[in-house]
Structure 1
Amino acid sequence: MIVQKIEVTGIEDVEKRLGNLKSKAPLVVARAINRATTNAKKNMAKETSGKYFVSSGDVKKTITVTKATKSSLKAAVISNGTGIALSKFKVSPGTPVRYRGKNRSPKVYKAGVEKAGGVKPLDGDPKSFIAIMKSGHKGVFTRTSGRSLPIKQLYGPSVPQMIKNEKIMKAINDDANETLQKRIDAEIANLLRKG
Structure 2
Amino acid sequence: MIDIELKGVKEALEMFDPQKVIAAARRSVDRIANSGITHASKEIRKEYNIKAKDLRKFLRLSVRPKGYSIEAVITGTGLGLALASFDAKQAGVSTAKGSFRYTKRAVRSGGRQFGGDVTVRVKTSSGRKVVTGKHGNKPFIARMKSGHLGVWVRQDEARLPIEQLFGPGVGGLFGTKQIMDSTQKHINDTFPKEFRHNLDYYLGRKS
1:32-111 mapped onto 2 (5 Å cutoff): 32-65=28-61, 66-69=63-66, 71-93=68-90, 95=93, 98-100=106-108, 105-106=115-116, 108-111=117-120
Match of 1:129 among 136, 140, 145: 140
1:169-180 mapped onto 2 (5 Å cutoff): 169-180=180-191
Unaligned runs of 5+ residues in structure 2 are: 94-100
> Aligned-pair RMSD on alpha carbons?
3.4
Q: Structure 1: how far apart are the matches of 2:45 and 2:164?
A: 23
Unaligned runs of 5+ residues in structure 1 are: none
Q: Structure 2: how far apart are the matches of 1:8 and 1:171?
A: 18
Q: Are the equivalent residues in 2 in contact too, given 1:7–1:75 (CA < 8 A)?
A: no
Q: Which has the higher helix share?
A: 1
Which residue of the partner structure matches residue 27 of structure 1? 23
Q: Kindly state the Cα deviation for residue 82 of structure 1 after the two structures are TM-superposed.
A: 3.7
In percent, how many aligned pairs have the same letter? 26
Q: Are the equivalent residues in 2 in contact too, given 1:67–1:76 (CA < 8 A)?
A: yes
Letter in 2 for 1:71: Y
The 1:181/1:9 distance shift into structure 2, 3 A limit, reads closer
TM-score, normalised with respect to structure 1: 0.73
Q: Kindly state the Cα deviation for residue 133 of structure 1 after the two structures are TM-superposed.
A: 4.8
TM-score, normalised with respect to structure 2: 0.70
Count of residues in correspondence between the two structures: 187
